[in-house]
Amino acid sequence: MIGAILDWKERLLGRGDASITVPVFDGALKSNNILEEAPVFATLEAPEDLATDGESLFVADGRTILRYGLGGAGQSADTGAGACPSAVEVHRFEESVSALACLPAGGLAVALGGREIRIVGGPHDGRRWDAVGGARLHAVNAVATAPDGRLLVTDGSLEHPVAHWRHDLMGLGRSGRLFELTPADGAGRALATGLAHAFGACAAGPEIWVSESWSHRVRAYAGARRGRAVTDSLPGYPSRLSPAAGGGFWLTCFTLRTQLVEFVLREPAYRRRMLAEIEPQYWIAPALNSGNTFLEPMQGAQLKMMGVVKPWAPPRSYGLVIRLTAEGLVRYSLHSRFDGKHHGVVAAVECGGDLFVLAKGCRKILRLSVADAERSLAG
């Protein structure tokens, strides 16, 4: 009873968990236009994830996996500045690929439809998982490899498939899971459950870091110890992680938090009616891209004045990649701002001094020099 009264008081005053605050872009998160100005490496039909073995770039595109050789410093054929390497289809499956990773001993780990993980190629070719410890896989959205060959797998939700991430957010989903799989013997176990949409993991020394999208943070797990926050209060919804050359990690955020969406998430009655009466693409909710239809909930003069974006306009989509140190501190960030198009960033991998970024919202892979980006930020 007392808890209910205190909760009502916080909601009335907008304090505590009921406060509607979003971290601002400042310091290492200061906005720039580096992602928006990055050359386009490739445009695809339905890109979902990236992986690299150090020599090639592997791309999950619908039901296929494409391989690009990375021998040259090719840029976009779209821009006319060099030539993009041609893609070779290396695998085709019966379902869409929701995640993939390159294995240290060769081969790929592939998540199909979010409900199965399959090894293709290499010494463990044919190994499959559709359940771990008796629990069925449901929404596998990221696979990564540890240096010892283990697979680190995130399953975003027990209630909604991978494509219905908006439903999970609006339902305040807390059913995400982190798994550890061993290709050599097919063993597997759950490392964490009850996560607020797990979406990306990586090995960080003795720990495993996992992105928890709806809690706006990265958490670390080690053995049986309770997870600790590596970085929290992020301004966006974090997704996949990957190692950065020289130490640290690349963290992608597939869209931004806004005060408008934070308000909707704290109004259950309004949210229930919205979910019941309005098509998902028109919800007041984050999106991977925006500005494509006059039916969007906010548009026109609500966002712009004389063609200029208003300073307070809440972005529906955005592009963001964050460089983290080995301790989890934000070193710098790369942006495609509200008025750009390279939005919905769900994966970033580094190879040969270049960063390959998957902007799912515009179905493009971007390629930019890490050294050039750092010089631009320093200048």
Q: Answer yes or no: pTM beyond 0.75.
A: yes
Low-confidence ranges of the chain (pLDDT < 70): 1, 3-4, 6-20, 71-84, 224-225, 294, 298-314
State the Cα angle at 253 between 65 and 140, rounded to 5°.
Answer: 45
CB 97 within 8 A of CB 48: yes
Torsion of CA 259, 261, 265, 268, to 10 degrees: 110
For residue range 150-195, what is the model confidence (pLDDT) as tens digits?
999 999 999 999 999 999 999 999 999 999 999 999 999 999 999 9
Distance, first Cα to last Cα, the chain: 57
pLDDT, tens digit, 9 for 90 and up, residues 323-351: 999 999 999 999 999 889 999 999 999 99
Q: For residues 182 and 188, is the Cβ–Cβ distance under 8 A?
A: yes
Class of domain 30-289+301-378: mainly beta
**Nearest CA to 203 among 149, 131, 156?**
149
Contact predicate 168/198, CB 8 Å:
no
